A and B are shown apart, each in its own frame.
Chain A
Amino acid sequence: MSQPVPGFVPSTAPPGRPEGQRKLLARCWKFLAQRWEWSALTILAVAPLVVPALGGALGGQVTTLFIYCILALGLNVMVGYTGLVHLGIAAFFGIGAYVMAILTVPMFPFQIGFLAAAVISVLVTAGVGLALGAPTLRLRGDYLAIVTLGFGEVAKVTLRNLEQITGGMKGLNPVPPPGAGVTVGGINLGQAFAIDPRWFYYLTLLLLAGVVVAMRRLEDSRLGRAWMAVREDELAASAMGISATRVKLSAFAMSSAVAGLAGCLYAASLSTTADPNAYDFNRSIMVLCAVILGGLGSIPGTLLGVALLVGFDTVLAPWADSWIQQMNINPTGSSLLSFSGWRLAIFGLALVLVMRYRPEGLVPSRRIAAELHSAEGQA
C-alpha cells in the first residue's frame, strides 16, 4: 500500500510548515491509515497458528465475521461512497448464496467447481443489481431506499416460493466445500476444508484482504472519485460531464457483486444456504448499521462496525444474559430483563445517537485525515 491516502497529496503541501507535535500526530495517523491493513492482516494470519480455539467452533464464527465484513464493504460502496441508501443488501447476499448452491449441490446436475461457481454467482448478482438499478436509479435518491427495501422483500419471498429451484424453506444443501475432489500435494482439499475450519478462515481472510485492496484502489480511481462526486453534489457532478446514472449504476453493480461474493462464501462455509429468512430485512439493516456506525465510506470504520455489531450479537448479548441469570436478577424470565430482548432498541438507539452526535461514524473516512492535514497546513 504505497499510494497516498485519498485526499492527501504530499508533493503539493505548502513549504515551510512548522515542525511539531501536530505533525508527529499527523504522521502517526498517516502511518496507521496506510498500514493498518498490514498490521491487522499479520495478526489475523498468525492467530490460527497460536490460538488453538480457532481450529474449533470459534474459527467458524470468525469466518462468518469475515464474510460479514466483505458484505459490509460491498454495501459501503453504495451507501458510503455514493451516498445512496440501500436497504436490501441481504437480497444480493442471498442470491449469491443460492447461485453458489444451485451450481454445486448434488441435487442438481451442474456440480461445477467452487471457483467457477463463485465467479458465476458474482456475475449473476452484479447482473441482478444492474437490472434492478437501470429502471430505478434515475429516480430521486430516496425512492431508491424504498425500491431496495421492496426488492429485499420480494427476493426473500421469491426464494421461498420457487421451491423446485431453491428448495423452499429447507434451502439447498449440502453445498460442497471448495476444492471437493481436488487433491493438491497429497491433500484432498475438499476434505481439508470440511474438517478444519482454519482452511475456510484463511480463504475468507484472503478474499477479505483482496476486497480491501480493491476498495482502496477504487477509492483512488476515476470511478471512486465519480462515486464521491455524485454523493457530494449530483447536479454539479453531471455538469462536469459525469453521467450520474451510469456512476450510480456502477456503484449498485459493484455493491451487488461484492455482496454476491460474500453470499457464496457464506453458503460454502455453512455448506447450506440456510432458509430464505436468513436474507431478510433484519440482516440488511444489521449490515447497514455496521457501515453507518463505523463510518460511511471508511474501510477501517466498516470493518470495526461489523466487528462491534457481530460482537454484540454473538458475544456481548449472550454473555450479559448469562450474567443476569447468574445474578438471579430475573427470576421470572421476563424478556424486559434480558439483554437480548433489547437488541432492536439498542440497535435503533445506536443509529439515532450516531446520526445525532457523530454522523461521520466511529472511524470517519476522509475528514479526520483532512482536518489533521488542514490543521497542519494552517498552523
Chain B
Amino acid sequence: MKPNPFAGAAGSPLLDVDRVTVRFGGLVAVSELDLDVPQGSIVSVIGPNGAGKTTAFNCISGIYPPSAGSVRFKGRRLERSFSAATFARAMGVGLLTGLLFAAAAVDVDRLWMAVVKRGMITGEPFTAAGAMDRLRGYFRAELAIDQMAGKWRVVSADGAEVLAIKRDLTEARRVRDALQAAVTARRIGPGTVPDSTDLATTPEPAASAPELPKLKEELLDRLAAGKRNVRWRGWAGLLAGWLLGTAGTIAVWQRGRRSPHVVARAGISRTFQNVRLFHNMSVLENVLVGLDRTIPGGVLAMLLRTPANRRGEDVARGRALEELEFVGLTGDAGRIAGQLPYGDQRRLEIARALATGAELLLLDEPAAGMNPSETVQLTGLIERIRNRGVTVLLIEHHMNVVMRISDRVAVLDHGIKIAEGTPAEIKRDEKVIEAYLGSEG
C-alpha cells in the first residue's frame, strides 16, 4: 500500500456518523451505525447484499432521514437551520395568503366595484388618495353613490342595497349624508362603543334636511351591522390565511430540511449503484450541472448574456473539461451520456460528482459491471481522487479493490456494523469471515 499523505490528520473526522438507525416501517435497515471518515482517507463499507450499505449512503446523502442518530460533516449537522430568512419567508407567505383569504372574505369583486368603478361613475379623477378614501369607506360600510340608467342611487358600500334614487347628484349626496348619519347613529347607539371612525364620519345634520326615504328598522340594523361584519370577515380571513400560510411554509421547510441538495452543497457528493446520469444530455453538460452553482447571474443575466455570466460559463466549461480529462473522457465531451459504454458512464458519474467541488465523495459500487482491466483503472482513479485531497467513502463488492486501496474497512451485516479496521485486520476477523467471507468457503 502506498503511504497516505493525509492519513492521521489531527482533529475531528471529516464525516462522523453517530449511532444512525434507519427504519422502514418495522424493518431496521441500519442499526446504530457508527462510522468515522477521517479527512483524506479512503474508507470502505462492505457486507453481503441487503446489509444496509446503500441505505446508510442514502441517509448520509440526505435522501432518507435517519430514524435516530446524527450525521455530522466537518462537525456540523447537515440540516438547514431555521434562519432569519426562513422566518421572513414564512411571514411573507403568511401575509400573502392572509391577504388572499381576506380578499375572498370581504368579496373582492364588490370591493373592486366600490374602489375602482365608483370613482369612474361619479366622474372623479382616479387618484391614490381618492381610491384610499373609497377603500376606507368600504371597510366602514359607508353608504355610497353610484349611477344606473342616468339616475343617481344611494347604495350600501357593497352595492347590494339600493336605498334611494335621485335625478340630481347633489340631492343624492345630501340624502346619502343624512342616511349615513342615521346609520351611524344606530351604530353608536346604546350598548355599542363608538370608535374614532364613526365619529369622524358623522356629518352634521343638514339644516334643510332633504326628504328622506323611510328605512325599515331591520334594514337600518343591517346597514349598521355592515361595518362590523365586513371588518370581522376581513380580519378573520387575514388571520386564517396568515396562520395557514405560515404553518404551511414551516411544514414545507421542516420536510425539506435534509434534502440531498443541502448535503451536496455542504460538500458531499455521490454516485449511484445503478448509474443515474442525465441520459439525454451531453457528457459535458452532465458535468456542467455539477458546476452550475459557480456561474453567476440570474435569469436576466442568462437572457442578456452579460459578460459576467458568459465568463462564468466559460470558466465552468473549462473546469468541466478538466474533470473529464481527469477521468479520461476528454474525447467524449460532445456525446450523449446515455450512449456511452457502461464503464464510461460510471466514470462520467464520478466526474460529475467531483465537479460539484465535493470534499467527500460517496461511491456506491463503482466497479459493478466492470471488467478486470476497467476495475484496475478505477482503482487507480480512486487513488488519484484521494491524492487530490478528496476523501472517499466506498461501497464495493470487489474485494481486491477494497483491500488494495482502503485505509479502513467497515463491515455491515443485517444493518449492524460487525467489524472495523485496516484491511489486514478485517481479513483476519473471525466474525467477518463467518458472516461474509465464510459463505464462500
Contacts and interface: CB of A to CB of B under 8 A. Distances in A.
B92 to A, nearest CB: 11
Contact of B302 (A165, A223, A241): A223
Q: Chain B's interface: helix, strand, loop or mixed, by majority?
A: helix
Given A238-B260, A366-B336, A108 B117 contact: yes
B293 interface: yes
Interface stretch (B31-39, B69-77, B327-335, B401-409): B327-335
B303 interface: yes
B252 interface: yes
Interface string A253-286: 0100000000000000000000000000000000
B299 A12 contact: no
A236 B272 contact: yes
Contacts, number: 160
Contacts of B285: 6-7, 225, 228
A241 B309 CA distance: 19
B265 interface: yes
Contacts of B276: 233, 235-236
Given A108-B120, A232-B278, A164 B110 contact: yes
User: Which of B93, B279, B289: most chain A CB closer than 10 A?
Assistant: B289
A244 interface: yes
Interface in A99-154: 107-110, 131, 134-135, 138
Contacts of B380: none
Interface in A215-245: 217-218, 221-223, 225-226, 228-229, 232-233, 235-245
B76 to A, nearest CB: 16
A138 B252 contact: yes
B282 interface: yes
A63 interface: no
A370 interface: yes
Interface in B320-376: 321, 330-336, 339, 352-353, 356
A108 B248 CA distance: 36
B431 interface: no
Interface string A137-179: 0100000000000000000000001111100000000000000
Contact of A138 (B119, B255, B264, B282): B255
Contacts of B87: none
A12 B280 contact: no
A229 B337 CA distance: 12
Contact of A162 (B109, B272, B302, B332): B109
A239 B303 contact: no
B116 interface: yes
A250 B278 contact: no
Contact of A218 (B108, B119, B303): B303
Contacts of A343: none
Contacts of B8: none
Contact of A222 (B263, B278, B302): B302
Contacts of A223: 299, 302
B278 A241 contact: no
Contacts of B282: 6-9, 370
Contacts of A242: 261, 289, 292
A187 interface: no
A214 interface: yes
Given A110-B126, A370-B282, A370-B339, A243 B261 contact: yes
A35 interface: no
Interface string A1-42: 000001111101110000000000000000000000000000
Nearest to B255: A138
Contacts of B292: 222, 225-226, 241-242
B256 interface: yes
Nearest to B335: A374
Contacts of B303: 214, 217-218
A233 to B, nearest CB: 5
Nearest to B309: A221
Contact of A109 (B93, B119, B279, B332): B119
B96 interface: yes
Interface residues of B, number: 62
B391 interface: no
Interface string B287-329: 0111011010101001101000100010000000100000000
Of the four ranges (under 10, 10 to 19, 20 to 34, 35 or more), the interface on chain A belongs to 35 or more
Contacts of B279: 232-233
Given A226-B289, A229-B278, A239 B61 contact: yes
A241 B264 contact: yes
A301 B126 CA distance: 47
Given A12-B333, A109-B119, A228 B278 contact: yes
A308 B285 CA distance: 32
B424 interface: no
Given A7-B336, A239-B260, A109 B277 contact: no
A221 B278 contact: no
A373 interface: yes
B58 to A, nearest CB: 10
Contacts of B295: 222
A377 interface: yes
B112 interface: yes
Nearest to A233: B276
Nearest to B298: A223
Contact of B334 (A10, A131, A221): A10
Interface in A336-374: 366-367, 370-371, 373-374
B248 A135 contact: yes
A119 B281 CA distance: 34
Nearest to A12: B333
A107 B302 contact: no
Contacts of B330: 12
A373 B334 contact: yes
A165 B112 CA distance: 7
25 contacts: A7-B285, A9-B284, A12-B334, A131-B96, A161-B109, A165-B112, A217-B302, A221-B309, A222-B292, A222-B313, A228-B285, A232-B281, A236-B277, A236-B278, A239-B264, A240-B261, A240-B264, A240-B290, A241-B290, A243-B261, A254-B299, A370-B336, A374-B339, A377-B332, A377-B334
List 10 A-B pairs, minimum CB-CB distance, nearest first: A109-B126, A241-B264, A232-B278, A12-B333, A221-B302, A370-B336, A236-B276, A9-B334, A164-B113, A238-B260
Interface of A: 6-10, 12-14, 107-110, 131, 134-135, 138, 161-165, 214, 217-218, 221-223, 225-226, 228-229, 232-233, 235-245, 250, 254, 366-367, 370-371, 373-374, 377
Interface of B: 61, 63, 93, 96, 108-110, 112-113, 116-117, 119-120, 125-126, 248, 252, 255-256, 259-261, 263-265, 269-270, 272, 276-282, 284-285, 288-290, 292-293, 295, 297, 299, 302-303, 305, 309, 313, 321, 330-336, 339, 352-353, 356
